Amino acid sequence: MNWDLKGKRALVTGGSRGIGRAIVDMFTELGAEVLYAARGEVDDARAIQADLSDPAGRELLVRTVTGRWDGLDILVNNAGTNIRKPWVAMTAEEREKVLGLNLTAPTELARSLHGHLRNGTGAAMVNVASVAALVDVGSGTAYAMSKAALLQFTRSLAVEWAADGIRVNAVAPWYIRTPLTRPVLDDPTRLERILARTPMRRVGEPQEVAAAVAFLAMDRSSYITGQCLVVDGGFLACGM
């Protein structure tokens, strides 16, 4: 077992920017053949334009991947979104948008691609959750509940799929410098509060989350399943 992903075929959702783009780039650097899903238009032969909050978009993605590859070694469910509003202030459409992309999309993709992952190669699925799944960080209830459910999905599915030779794990980042977090990090007052609760006194970079995902996707982590690797600069360990 080497510290690389040579010979692996990987699908990454939300792969055009932020954490997803860092995962695509790192997987490629480590030798994997990568396809990624992106909602917007992209000029990249590896990209599949698909809105994963829409069943038709998920069907297109699955059809494209299964048509190109006879098996899949790695599935990274990274695509996600947030609408920063209190629970009672959110419309039904807004709630469904957050829950649909953060929870329904990864769970349905896992179901649809199970047969492709069950290819005898020791496949791995990695879900990108959040520390908001474990403690309240002011991100809003809809986002937090979607990520918490994704973590329990990870644990339960790891048990279900162990007999199929498919490992299922998750990563839970704290604040990472991405387009999604830019509105928060650009606010000096909020940034000061975030850094005060982070022992390493900085926000994370997308490549630092990508490294954790890559490890969980490697054969080197072959006895790890049902786990959540927190990438938070010490945030969860910090009390007073």
Predicted confidence at residue 38, as pLDDT, reads: 94
- In whole angstroms, give the CA distance from residue 233 to residue 230: 9
List the catalytic residues.
143
Give pLDDT tens digits for 7-16: 999 999 999 9
Predicted confidence at residue 126, as pLDDT, reads: 98
- In whole angstroms, give the CA distance from residue 15 to residue 21: 5
Predicted confidence at residue 158, as pLDDT, reads: 98
Retrieve residue 58's tokens.
Answer: 């998920």
* Dmax (CA) of the chain: 53
Give pLDDT tens digits for 94-120: 999 999 999 999 999 999 999 999 877
Sheet holding 33-38, edge to edge: 47-49, 33-38, 9-13, 74-77, 124-128, 167-173, 228-231
pLDDT in single tens digits along all 240 residues of the chain: 789 999 999 999 999 999 999 999 999 999 999 999 999 888 899 999 999 999 999 999 999 999 999 999 999 999 999 999 999 999 999 999 999 999 999 999 999 999 999 877 789 999 999 999 999 999 999 999 999 999 999 999 999 999 999 999 999 999 999 988 999 999 999 999 999 999 999 999 999 999 999 999 999 999 999 999 999 999 999 976
pTM: 0.95
User: Please, what sign has the CA dihedral across residues 165, 76, 58, 80?
Assistant: positive
- In whole angstroms, give the CA distance from residue 185 to residue 60: 35
- In whole angstroms, give the CA distance from residue 77 to residue 52: 11
